[in-house]
Amino acid sequence: MLYPTPIAKLIDSFSKLPGIGIKTATRLAFYTIGMSDDDVNDFAKNLLSAKRELTYCAICGNLTDDDPCAICQDTSRDRTTILIVEDSRDVSAMENIQEYHGLYHVLHGLISPMNGIGPDDINLKSLIERLMDSEVTEVIVATNATADGEATSMYISRVLKPAGIKVTRLARGLAVGSDIEYADEVTLLRAIENRTEL
């Protein structure tokens, strides 16, 4: 397509985003031109400041604009429990339910033998260091319920159990609101295995 250079460049920038092809990028670029000056200036400023100001917490690896992050600094939180997640979005999902009050550890990935990602390629070493001489008694593995998530969870459990730390993981079963009819077989299997008394 023949577009004036400024819009062609903007389309190019949009199309670098995941899941955005050339047609969507074009639609977004044209929409942006129709936006108010303030909105576009804010957008550009927010892009730069998110990239510039955000860093990873030196303790837990969570994305933060303040190192150590607010959660690690919060003395009111339970320091005997660490919940392990794949990325910062999982921390937010967990914080959102306002039920967990311990600390976190963000792995920035999962062990994936198929893709050649081993324990040293994710933020695991710092977890081991963090657990040495700490007051942590339980580690909750909250990785996704996928093959890589399971592999990571198995690895962590094998490494930490000999050190006398209780390792748990999130329950597997039917998602709330879901139909048995449409549940996959493995989920149903786990749901029967892990049945609870009423």
Residues that bind a second copy (CB under 8 A): 1-7, 9-10, 12-13, 16-20, 24, 26-33, 35, 37, 39-54, 63-66, 87-89, 92-93, 95-96
Q: Which is nearer to a second copy, 35 or 188 (CB)?
A: 35
Q: Which is nearer to a second copy, 104 or 156 (CB)?
A: 104
Q: Which is nearer to a second copy, 49 or 137 (CB)?
A: 49
Asked if residue 68 has a cis previous peptide bond (ω within 30° of 0), the answer is yes
144-165 as b/e: b if 16+ CB within 10 A: beeebbbbbbebbbebbeeeeb
Closest CB 53 distance from a second copy, rounded Å: 5
**Is the distance from CB of 107 to CB of 156 less than 8 angstroms?**
no
Q: Which is nearer to a second copy, 86 or 167 (CB)?
A: 86
Closest CB 18 distance from a second copy, rounded Å: 5
**Is the distance from CB of 63 to CB of 54 less than 8 angstroms?**
yes
The amino acid occupying position 112 is: S
Q: Which is nearer to a second copy, 30 or 125 (CB)?
A: 30
Distance of CA 153 to the CA centre of its chain: 15
Q: Which is nearer to a second copy, 75 or 98 (CB)?
A: 98
What is the four-CA torsion angle of 59, 156, 83, 127, rounded to 10 degrees? Answer: -10
Closest CB 128 distance from a second copy, rounded Å: 25
Closest CB 6 distance from a second copy, rounded Å: 4
Closest CB 194 distance from a second copy, rounded Å: 28
Closest CB 98 distance from a second copy, rounded Å: 10
22 φψ region: left (φ > 0), alpha (ψ -120 to 50), beta (else): alpha
Furthest CA-CA distance within the chain = 67
**Is the distance from CB of 102 to CB of 82 less than 8 angstroms?**
yes
